[in-house]
Amino acid sequence: MNAALPALLILQIVFCGDSITKGWEIYNLFDQPQKVYINGVESCTSADILKRIEPIAAKKPHKLFLMIGINEIKAQNRIIDNYDKIIRIIQEASPYTLIYVQSILPTRSQTIDNADILATNKRLKALCARQNNFVRYIDLYDSFLADDGKLGPNFTEDGIHLTKNGYSLWKKLLLSQM
């Protein structure tokens, strides 16, 4: 997986996460895609990110966006502990990288309880509040909700992964936070 890192001296923007993050590659919504590195892997967990974050952090990206947890949402303690370790690894290797921890998105899945996502997001927000100014929490959750309290059907086809409409909203929300 390390061989997939771009041969740039410094990465501009990195997105690191699971298949939802990987979806950015499908729609190519970035104005300067050569400055953006997508490191999304299907079925990825926080432990998987922990295993692969060092070479990414060593590239000293300007901004690093993290979204992980949906594939292990019942293991909140593990998610939070691993996020804490991931943040520390990034900050040790690249203390001036802005780290954006993004909330886990709601779903329409019958097997994933959005209450678990909300509880994890609350803990992620608290974790970020204890960090320095280079770690920021971005709450995306509410912006993706439909009136029924689930991921808006216009943002998904399978109940979890986003459509182009979903990624367009996500991009808009991120730009408003930077």
Q: Is residue 4 part of a domain?
A: no
138 domain-assigned: yes
Q: pLDDT truncated to tens, each residue of the chain (178 aa)?
A: 444 555 544 569 999 999 999 999 998 888 777 789 999 999 999 999 999 999 999 999 999 999 999 999 999 999 999 999 999 999 999 999 999 999 999 999 999 999 999 999 999 999 999 999 999 999 999 999 999 999 999 999 999 999 999 999 999 999 998 7
SS (H, E, C) 49-97: HHHHHHHHHHCCCCEEEEECCHHHCCCHHHHHHHHHHHHHHHHHHCCCC
Asked, for residue 2, whether it belongs to a domain, the answer is: no
* CA pair distance 118, 140, nearest whole angstrom: 11
**What CATH number should be reported for the domain holding residue 54?**
3.40.50.1110
Q: Is 79 inside any structural domain?
A: yes
Structural domain contains residue 20: yes
Say if 5 falls within a structural domain. Answer: no
* Residue 18 forms part of a structural domain: yes
The domain tally of the chain equals: 1
Structural domain includes residue 27: yes
Which domain range does residue 159 map to? 13-175
